[in-house]
């Protein structure tokens, strides 16, 4: 049985997947072949997956995620509250950088500002 480390799963979930399911299948197959043990980690993923800018620009930023960080959202939590917790945790992880948080969450920066203004 093969597992996917949390950091690798985060990177896979944040990628745009312009090639859709076929591209995902190819990346997973490659990672299985390259994995040195029974866990797929960031080292087993191709460079484009590791970047926040998945369009292949040369100036992309690296995804730096930690296995020990996350957001706990119990079953029954409203979507509004879940979204608020995720936004707060992402802003905390980025040191309050709204532009980076927007990239990580896959939304426009103005959406971050709008969500923050709704909380007031």
Domains and CATH numbers, the chain: 1-69 (1.10.8.60), 79-118 (1.10.10)
Residue 1: pLDDT band (50, 70, 90) is: low
| Neighbour count for residue 67 (Cβ, 10 Å) | 12
Rounded distance between C-alpha atoms, residue 27 and residue 37, angstroms: 17
Residue 79 above 80 pLDDT? yes
Half-sphere exposure (Cβ direction) of 57: Cα atoms closer than 13 Å: 8
Rounded distance between C-alpha atoms, residue 44 and residue 84, angstroms: 33
Residue 39 above 80 pLDDT? yes
At residue 64, the pLDDT reads 47
Instruction: Report, as an integer, the average pLDDT of 51-74.
Output: 51
Instruction: Report, as an integer, the average pLDDT of 6-24.
Output: 82
Residue 55: pLDDT band (50, 70, 90) is: very low
């Amino acid at each position: 049985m093969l597992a996917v480390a949390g950091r690798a799963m985060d990177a896979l979930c944040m990628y745009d997947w312009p090639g859709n399911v076929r591209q995902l299948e190819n990346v997973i197959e490659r990672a299985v072949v390259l994995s040195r043990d029974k866990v797929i980690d960031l080292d087993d993923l191709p460079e484009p997956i590791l970047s926040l800018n998945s369009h292949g620009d040369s100036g992309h930023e690296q995804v730096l995620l930690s296995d020990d960080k996350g957001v706990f959202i119990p079953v029954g939590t409203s979507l509004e509250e879940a979204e608020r917790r995720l936004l707060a945790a992402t802003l905390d992880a980025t040191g309050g950088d709204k532009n980076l948080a927007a990239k990580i969450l896959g939304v426009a920066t103005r959406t971050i500002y709008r969500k923050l203004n709704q909380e007031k």
